Amino acid sequence: MPAPRKPSALHVLSGAFKHNPKRAQARENEPAPVGPIGDAPKRLRVKQRHAWAEHVAMAPWVTASHRGIMELTSRLAVLVWEDKADGGDKRLYSQCLTKLGITPADNSRVQVAKNAPAGNEFQLLKGGRA
């Protein structure tokens, strides 16, 4: 199985793009995060919105691009909390937590700047303004 794909920002910081410029060219037009994750969608029930808020609090690094997986995580969390989840639901919930970097083991893989500048930090990496 191949290694998981690393985010471009990590390649920029590690110097991998300088070492292998073709890798940077292959990712030239990839989308950039567009802002904070925001409030829970109105279509979620009250308990699911509480789950959204709880998970966002556990993962302050999530952005608008995480909205889909955060919605799924919130729906599954309520199933688990209400003891209505089957084995597949629990496995999927665990995978969602892993993808979001919320589990203790995955927490160590998330890198967040201590005093991150306001705005779009990926734009700053490209030499632009936030």
Domain boundaries, the chain: 8-111+118-125
pLDDT of residue 69: 97
Q: Angle formed by the axes of helices 46-58 and 67-81, to 10°?
A: 120
Determine if the pTM surpasses 0.85.
Answer: no
Exposed/middle/buried for residue 57 (C-beta within 10 Å: 0-12, 13-18, 19+): exposed
pLDDT of residue 125: 57
pLDDT in tens, the chain (130 residues): 777 777 777 777 788 888 888 888 888 777 777 899 999 999 999 999 999 999 999 998 899 999 999 999 999 999 999 999 999 999 999 999 999 989 888 777 776 666 655 555 555 555 555 5
pLDDT of residue 42: 97
State the amino acid at position 37 in one-letter form: I
Tokens of 8: 């471009």
